[in-house]
Amino acid sequence: MANYDVIIIGSGPGGYVCAIRCAQLGLKVACVEGRETLGGTCLNVGCIPSKALLHASHMLHEAEHNFAAMGLMGKSPSVDWKQMLSYKQSTIEQNTKGIEFLFKKNKIDWLKGWGSIPEAGKVKVGDEVHSAKKIIIASGSEPASLPGVEVDEKVVVTSTGALELGKIPKKLVVIGAGVIGLELGSVYARLGSEVTVVEFLDAITPGMDAEVQKTFQRILKKQGLGFIMGAAVQKTEATKSKAKVTYKLRKDDSEHTLDADVVLLATGRKPYADGLGLDALGVAMTKRGQIAVNATWETNVPGIYAIGDAIEGPMLAHKAEDEGMAAAEQVAGRHGHVNYGVIPGVIYTHPEVANVGLTEQALKEEGRAYKVGKFSFMGNGRAKANFAGDGFVKILADKETDRILGAHIIGPAAGDLIHEICVAMEFGASAEDLAMTCHAHPTYSEAVREAALACGDGAIHM
Ligand code: FAD
Ligand code: NAI
């Protein structure tokens, strides 16, 4: 039994960042983690492993599709799946060990095991009960289930199983055209699987800018992904090595089936708070099963806070990290702040897709007068040289004040380009501010400047 200023439950991007910031602010900190390694969903079975596989499979795609055009001749590489998985695993290990190192450096105790909160101010791990002035729950999320779909993580898998399949499937059926379905669907399509995505709605990636959705789907189709839209999956039936997926088309209620070697269930994630004892403590939850918090991330039970995927808001690692830092400031008696209006979202396919702020649809619903500045990567010299001319930058600005309200990018390095717009928005910049800023040539970021110019007198290269 030990006494701490703060105990954080969960070591994902929310929890570990919060622990480090608490330690930096002079607090005595422990972090409870039940997994074998630190880093949560993100480092172990989420962001990091998926990006390793996206990177490796993209390299293969480049070799197969673009090398010869640049005069790089010869046989394209063949895939050693075991080696690709071990590259992915070593990437995970480098990152999770890195967090362990940061914990030691910041004198944060890792309490190994699954934690619960028997009463405010106490955290139980195994047989030990520790005390803490403040407790921060960062217990994350888990894949949502779908009635009729039984996951075995071998033939019918969630993202976790999809990151370590025994072999590359000949036929992969993905349920859900959201972020996970399209990222992991892209990986296997590049590795040679026949990928069919079954989506309930009529557009992919719900909530995203409609033009981006259309362009994105067109590009993915060109890359070989098949789509069945407006289709509600009813059930899956699996043997040891095959599965059948039954879906109903919403337009006429007709029933159809698809055969698959592997089915990836990617219809969203739900907050995870099992075993913490929140019911007995009387911690209030939202209608959607998230831990309810106030503007300073405190629950209705004084001294107990919650952050990350376990509370409301986008389920993103950087949103969890920002809340982790802000909650640390709060428990250290300072002021923590997260600007929820400027949280970027990125899909790491090729091309990448990125967005921040409001969509045109949201502006229309608000009845707000806005202008659009759009620039195609076809007009960007660097993108053309790199076979990356597909896509565009779209900036939305207030019609009267020119203040940037949102941005939507599909194209090369979109996930990096979005951040200059995030910074601009944080500073309340106008599109003209961005347009007047010198951008180095030849860079992809010139497309951002051109879109900003297009909000005013016009882009130069269009
Ligand atoms: P988590 O990362 O889920 O961590 C929670 C941790 O708490 C877990 O390790 C769990 O074991 C531990 N825990 C829970 N309860 C207890 C307990 N009682 N005792 C002890 N330990 C406990 N987001 C992005 O921003 N970018 C991406 O590219 C991205 N890619 C993703 C790819 C995939 C395949 C998936 C599944 C998710 C991805 N995400 C991505 C989402 C991202 O992983 C999450 O938003 C992020 O991990 C949330 O962080 P968190 O700290 O709230 O929770
Ligand atoms: P999602 O919410 O992004 O997409 C789920 C999709 O499934 C939606 O398009 C939905 O309409 C569809 N769907 C729901 N029920 C269905 C049914 N019965 N039949 C067919 N389709 C159905 O969820 P996803 O992809 O599982 O990702 C979960 C979370 O993980 C996301 O919130 C995301 O923020 C996070 N994540 C983030 C990444 C990133 O930032 N690059 C990468 C991967 C995950």
Report the alpha-carbon distance of residue 221 to residue 186 in Å, rounded.
10
Q: 181 CB under 6 A from ligand 2?
A: yes
Q: How far is the CA of 309 from the centre of ligand 1 (A)?
A: 7
The predicted-structure confidence for 184-240, as pLDDT tens digits, reads as follows: 999 999 999 999 999 999 999 999 999 999 999 999 999 999 999 999 999 999 999
The predicted-structure confidence for 366-405, as pLDDT tens digits, reads as follows: 999 999 999 999 999 999 999 999 999 999 999 999 999 9
Q: Which ligand has the nearest atom to the CA of 208?
A: 2
Task: Give the angle subtended at the CA of 114 by the CAs of 111 and 116, to the nearest 5°.
Answer: 100
Q: Is the dihedral of CA 163, 168, 173, 179 positive or negative?
A: positive
Element (H, E) at 221: helix 210-222
Question: Helix (H, G, I), strand (E, B), or coil: what is residue 97?
Answer: helix
Residue given tokens 């200023």 in the structure block: 5
* Ligand 1 cavity residues, CB under 6 Å: 9-15, 32-35, 40-42, 46-47, 50, 114-115, 138-141, 159, 180, 272, 275-276, 308-310, 315-318, 320, 348
Is 253 a residue whose pLDDT tops 90?
Answer: yes
Is 76 a residue whose pLDDT tops 90?
Answer: no
Residue 142: CB atoms within 10 Å: 15
Q: ω into residue 147 within 30 of 0, thus cis?
A: no
Is 334 a residue whose pLDDT tops 90?
Answer: yes
The predicted-structure confidence for 283-306, as pLDDT tens digits, reads as follows: 999 999 999 999 999 999 999 999
Q: How far is the CA of 186 from the centre of ligand 1 (A)?
A: 22
Residue given tokens 């830092």 in the structure block: 325
pLDDT band at 1 (very low <50, low <70, confident <90, very high): confident
The predicted-structure confidence for 118-166, as pLDDT tens digits, reads as follows: 999 999 999 999 999 999 999 999 999 999 999 999 999 999 999 999 9
Tell me if ipTM is over 0.95.
yes
Q: What is the pLDDT of residue 75?
A: 86
- Out of 65, 337, 441, 461, the active site residue is 441
Question: Helix (H, G, I), strand (E, B), or coil: what is residue 74?
Answer: coil
> pTM of this prediction?
0.98
The predicted-structure confidence for 303-332, as pLDDT tens digits, reads as follows: 999 999 999 999 999 999 999 999 999 999
Question: Helix (H, G, I), strand (E, B), or coil: what is residue 235?
Answer: strand
Report the alpha-carbon distance of residue 71 to residue 104 in Å, rounded.
49
Query: Which residue stretches of 32-80 are H helix?
Result: 40-45, 47-65
> Hey, what amino acid is at 298?
E
The structure tokens listed for 45 are 């079975």
Q: What is the pLDDT of residue 66?
A: 95
Q: What is the DSSP letter of 149?
A: B
Strand partners, 3: 131
Strand partners, 304: 135
The structure tokens listed for 249 are 């088309």
